[in-house]
Amino acid sequence: MNQVLPKYHPVGIIIIRLINTDRSVCFIGGKVKALVHLTEIRTRYCESDALGHINNVSYFIYFEQARVDFLLDSGMVLPSEKFPFLVASLHCDYKKQVYINQSLKIHTYVMDIGRSSFKLGHEIHDKDSNELLAVGEAVLVSYDLIAEKTTRLSDELRFKLENYVRVEINNSKGVKSSDV
């Protein structure tokens, strides 16, 4: 049985991390809005540059690890299957520098679901301070490697993705669920 530990956000948003899993649940106003996948990473010396901070390219490697963990842990892709998606687009906005041996947590969620593609959002936070360090997006396209063409997302996959869609809501303070 999984234990649940609440973490209270100063604007009334509650994040609950399910212990022994890589999932968190976002509660807003007492109602579940979306599941958020969590990946933890510790930076390495080989990812740094001459200035002593983590090179900008490494952020995309962290997003990739979070993306693959998300798809495997959620059961959207089985470990024995070939990866059925192509990356169509990647984007990163750098907020703060990241350093060697820093512990990071990456929140992954679904931003949009199309006919044959979906957009994932990633947020890199410092594990200890929870400070936002970078925000990224990835568009994945369902693809048949043998036929070499895009394919429609299955109803089963679409259902699983919908559990992770982050809902944008505004309250009286103008806070959105994406501000978590």
Q: 120 near 108, Cβ under 8 Å? A: yes
Please give the pLDDT value at position 33. Answer: 56
Q: 94 forms bridges with which residues in the sheet?
A: 134
In a domain, 27, yes or no: no
Tell me the C-alpha distance between 122 and 118, whole Å. Answer: 13
Tell me the C-alpha distance between 178 and 111, whole Å. Answer: 10
In a domain, 176, yes or no: no
In a domain, 24, yes or no: no
| Residue count of the chain | 180
Full residue range of the structural domain in which residue 72 is found: 39-167
In a domain, 20, yes or no: no
**Residues 91-121: pLDDT tens digits?**
999 999 999 999 999 999 999 999 999 999 9
Please give the pLDDT value at position 174. Answer: 41
Please give the pLDDT value at position 118. Answer: 97
In three-state secondary structure terms, 120 is strand
Please give the pLDDT value at position 81. Answer: 78
Please give the pLDDT value at position 168. Answer: 57
- For residue 123, what is the domain's CATH number? 3.10.129.10
Please give the pLDDT value at position 166. Answer: 82
Tally of structural domains, the chain: 1
In a domain, 2, yes or no: no
3-state secondary structure 7-66: EECCCCEEEEEECCCCEEEEEECCEEEEEEEEEEEECCHHHECCCCEECHHHHHHHHHHH
In three-state secondary structure terms, 77 is coil
Positions of the chain with pLDDT under 50: 1-32, 169-180
For the entire predicted model, the pTM comes to 0.76
In a domain, 61, yes or no: yes
Tell me the C-alpha distance between 180 and 177, whole Å. Answer: 6
